[in-house]
Structure 1
Amino acid sequence: MALLPTGSDKLLEISTEKLNVVIKSRRNWQGDTSNRSSSLVLDGRNIKEVKIAATEEDIECENFDYAHYEFEIPPIFFEQTDYEIIIKSNDGSQLSFWNENSSVKDRVGSAYDGDYTLLSGVLNFENTCGYSYFEISADGVRCLSIRIEVFPSKITYKEDYQKMIDDISEMVSEVAIDFMQKTYQTFKLGDKQSTVLSVYFQILSVIFNDYMNAVNRIISVPHHKLITEHEVVPYYKAKRTDKTSINWLRKRQDRMVISDGVVAAERLLTAKKQLTYDTEENRFVKYILRSTVKRLDEFIKRYTRYAKNVAGGEPEEKVIQDAQRMKRDVKRVMHSSFLQDVSEYHAAKSMSLVFGMAPGYRELYKCYLMLSRSLSVNGDIFKMSVKDTALLYEYWCFIKLFSILKKEYKLVSPDIVKVDNNGITVTLVKGHRSEARFINPNTGEHITLVYNPSEQKTQTVNQRPDNVLELEKRGTDVAYKYVFDAKYRIEKDPSSPFYPDDKPGPKVDDINTMHRYRDSIVYENRESKFMFEKTMFGAYILFPYDDEEQYKNHRFYKSIETVNIGGLPFLPGSTKLVRSLLDDLISDSKESAFERTTLPAGIEEKLAKVDWDKREVLIGTFRSPEQFETCYQRRFYYVPKSMVSDDRLPIHYVALYQTNNKFGDKGEIRYYGEAIRVALVKRSSITEVPINPSRNNGDEPYYRITVRGWKDITDTNESGETIKPLEQGMAIGFTNMFLLQHSDVVPELNIKSEEEYRFYRELKRASKDVDIADDKTDIGFKHGDTYFDFHDGEILVIKDNKIIHKCAINEFAKRPGSSFRMITYAMKSKMITDQQ
């Protein structure tokens, strides 16, 4: 083997006695191939010389009638690259070129019309990676077979590419296999039943010689056994008798005669030893052969139907011929040997040792297992076509997202893959909706991961992102949707003045696509005055890149925090950033999810804001159930003037608080009403409730509040429940209508600011074990042994009487979701440090 000249565009030259082959390419792949190896396999007649680019080895090629060579070389064939192939006859022979896929085969033809002594063509494997097999014949006789290995340029082939396929194999019962693809990937024996006919045919094609050798060896030296047969014959022909013969004669004494004192029988049951091949093992051999013929028949029918009805062309003649030849050979052996007289096989409870030890039977049984079991991607045994790398990456992204979610949340619906299992392929159905539904055990909220959602219609051009994460949030009917779009593209040369960063990352036009997805996919809400509403809250590119730490400083990663659009590196060994974002999106409250999206200018003026200084709801308590019943029935409430400061006026609403100590541990706030009249009166004028004689306060001024009617708070509260007490209750308190409609327990009514409310909501979402401490000036929250204190413009995180983290309240107000995540990260870090 010789080294090609430096600077030559020739990648591979093969010279044989009959023909010469040259493969050229002007594009050199930009990347490090020093630690990567590729394989080149040649089978042919009279191979004289092989020249391979990018190698310094010289290997002599002996001019044998037939030779097999395997070379380990640096990668020279890559995706998305044009390769010119030239095949020239040395002796005027008519040449032909064959590849298992017609789109490759049809690109190579005669250089001049009608002259098949010179073939040429340009091959481009696009995004397809793996092994590709070429066969070149001269005058109809195969002279040379070439197997090349096509490498991806955006991922590492021996690691990421194989790991992607492993992940898919793990999640799907059969690897996504397409019989009509340009390249194939090697497979090894798996451990699951396989019903895919294309898989069966490809395996049988490779092992058929071994299969027939095993069958022929069985035919030449078959397993047999001796059996004893009995026959009634004249006594003079009987040669051997046994106990069965004696018992037969005892039952038939009329056949015996006595002559001259001698007892004799006219006829006897004689025993004969006979050789038979009708054994359980041979019946199983016949069953294997019959099932092979049946599967080949079914394959031919379905492959022909697939080629005509789905692929829109004629079936590959060589494939049909190979299938017919194999079927013919198997039937010939079955009908011209002892097997035609063997009985039908019935499943045995255990397998004979013959299939584990006897020559021929052992090999045939191994072939049978290979044919009847599923395949895992690996090894160098079987030729299988796989998806092109871009589509493989798209499939892997969905399946990996599914796998990440499945580990953290309860799977409800496993419908993640739709397959066409009655034809020639088993694939994820691109362009058709597939989804998986999960439940968050902490919140009870539903999580839906959708592949190829088909309903994303817009008022202009319909959009179809690859993956959409749909989240349900408590307290709202809004579905929060996020696009995770797989793009097998990367900007490896960020030096362009049009690229906004100096580090590798997603393509700019892909980022623009994310903007389009988020802004153009809308929902028609006929009940809303705005009519059309955006349904996508964020859009992210998943792209093949492995340096997550470096990418954290990339502009398109930071943009996720600011505008909720950007890119995330996603490969088998690089999933941390995606996992983190998924965790954040799912753990976000509905408020944080809303804050992640960008809003149009002026929207704040249109959104209703809560005035946290305005406490217009009086929370009224009772001294007895009778007092409550009277106020409820008469639609009024009364309170001493001394307990209501002037800045609390006017009172707009009254909520009735039934405390545990007065209502037998059945306390709650269930009813509230709108105040229509507030009058300052003497206590003595409130005659519906008699004055307690011990108090004698008839002249004390009271506010008598008349309400329009009492409403059930379960109709307006976000939770649909009453507000429960956590203590004996307050005397008189004030809150606002927002808190009254969004609180679960009474202490929540004391929250004093939007920042306190948002922090409490995030903390409550993260854990149900949260307490509120209110000391009238500052409010705090307790979670386990950690205390969160709002004090002097800061949020203090206190554990073991030490401040472990601080966050300015005004910073939290700007980005509550991200600020809270920083606090939780600090808590986790402290916990890990304490454990070490």
Structure 2
Amino acid sequence: MTSSTFEILLNNKSSIKITLWGEQSDENSILKIDAAEAFENGEAEIQIKEGLSYEYQLESGYSFDSHELIKTSRSNSNSGRIVPNIYVGTISFDILNEERQKCGVLKLEVRSVKTDYRGDYRMMLEDITEKCTDLILQHSSPVTQLLETDFEQDPSTLYQRFAFIKSVLDSEEFKDAIHKIVINPVTKWMTVEAERDIRNLKRFDSNVMRQISGSSNRINIPEFHTLNQKGILRTLPQKINSYSKKESIDTPENKFVKYALESFLDLVGKIKIIVDTKTRLHSEAAILEDQLEQFLNHSVFKEVSRLNTLPLNSPVLQRKEGYREVFRAWLMFELAAKLVWHGGDDVYSAGKRDVAKLYEYWLFFKLLDIVNEIFNIKPKGLDQLITPINKNVIGGTLGLNLKGGKRIAIEGTYKNEIRNLKIEFSFNRSFSGKKEYPSGGSWTKDMRPDYTLSIWPEAISQEEAEREELIVHIHFDAKYKVENLKELFGDDPENDANEENIQNSLNKEKEEEAKGNFKRVDLLKMHAYKDAIRRTGGVYVLYPGKSNEPYSKKGFHEILPGLGAFAIRPDKANDGSLEVKQFLNEVVRHFLNRASQREKAAYRTYDIHKDSLSDEVHEPIPEAYGNNRSLMPDETFVLVAFYKSEEQLKWIEENGLYNLRTGSNRGSLNLDCGVTSVRYLLLHGNNETKTARLIKLNDKGPRIFSKQDMVLKNYPNPRGEFYLVYKIENEVEEEFKDKIWDITKLKNYQTGRGSGMPFSVTLSQLMKAIVKD
């Protein structure tokens, strides 16, 4: 157990001590960072880790006010436990004196277990801002952009709007853009006018000649000068206005950059004034204000005058490196300042920095881009993401409707020459456990994966596709705190399992569970989605790992059904999305295969369960294994057929054949699957309604014999032109021996002259006609 003692400055400038003990043996569970580093990152100096527990001890006479993350000791009010759970960010605990009056504040920074969460947080927020800007700027955007913002109108959303703005201005891309501009600013050649002594002129043009002849402030030309002697000129102007070209940085584009920086600075300054000086928002605004002032103090901007008009159509702003990034940042800034994110409270309300929740939101946009690219669709429903708030108010805000627990569904159609498919990408889609089969939903409790990709044929509705087993759901779940596959699947998911390894792995898991670490929960959750949600084709974990090697387990022989994991992370150079794209490309090829095993299995499921009732068999029949593996009572057919004489029965037994006439005459039958794929033959004679003559047939199916073929086989008196002939294989299984069947109990049996008509029944139906003793 590690411990650290810190001094806390109270309101009266005195100080008290607090001691923290980390309950886990983690050397970095309690840290105190430098004040400059804390200020730069907008954090508290004393830092602890999420997911861990800490004991604390204040000096006697002091205690903490009640707080959801504090459990005060019953025996001593100045001690207890701090349990941050999954909270990440700055938390403030009010310190009370003996009179229960507030006398100070303890600020703790709860760090994420991920060491690089600061950079991840900043980059993901920047990406979300950029994506929202793209959506707002789309031609089909339902709002008119008014580039004015009044932060005082809605102080409850102040921090989350500032977080958007900060993500734009605090990015490395923006800083690099300013650096490129100041070292290589755009210039233009300007004509400069200056008065010069006429004696210093070296070049004469028409403008100079006009000034020589007409300018005032003239001096006399000496009498001995040629011009005077010849009477051409007697006086000359003392000064001449000359014009020259000079390179200047006072261009419209540089004026715009200066204007943008001043706009940023002005707005950040207003935020700083509005908020309490003790809040994280104030400190972060101060950091950003200082950074912007440094940019504006560069010598380049001292030579640039004020902007009169916005040069929005300037090719330099739209294309030149550095300028285009600032121009885009300005657009993002203006729009982000107006954007209210309804899910923002989940990420950064009250000083929180829930990087895991932000990762979940960030992945939504990443997956949306991937789905649009792979399936080449123009999605419907994007207008659900950005909607106007207070439409009737000039300068009204915009809402980003991305919030945990709220479903967003984006739908499109994938067009292909082989087949057209409907695609739906959902965030937080719920699968109800209250819907009965065959409706979509869960078999048990309600389930809600983070993201669901649903695919079904274009020609039918999603509800119909659910009923007919024609839809497939692929689920993705975000796990920011998973760093590698070992955490999720064990030491080496590819190694062949043996009993010893399995036992060792399970023993380790039991030890971890005893310590309160439930790493297996994420894996079990994957299986829960796969097994509980109807028509699930695959479940995949998304985590911000460094490896680009995906882990995928195919359920059988094809890409679906399956389980797996993909590393996808906030990284400008390589975010891991390529591997997800490759996976979805395989999914596309899989759906274009019209003879896939998954399609067959889906049809079998539909065919089996389309009727609520099925035949029951409570009689002994052969076990379905080995050569009899396909012996399914409802799909095994028996031909109930007639022999007309003892002579024909003798021929059947001697030749191992049984024949049926074909054609349109009486006694022939339709060649349906119940006739062509029969597995058994039940023979009966004239006036014989109870029979034990069950014969097993060759499973290769019947053959066609001509009348001449039957003559060569010594068939007695063949009258038909063609015959359907079955080959008798061998004796029936033990379970069927000594059984007698009453054919009058069979559904298709006919009385009178029709009693000799052949007909087929399933084995399930046949077993109901057994004659009981």
TM-score (norm 1): 0.40
More strand by share: 1
TM-score by length of 2: 0.42
Higher share of residues assigned helix: 2
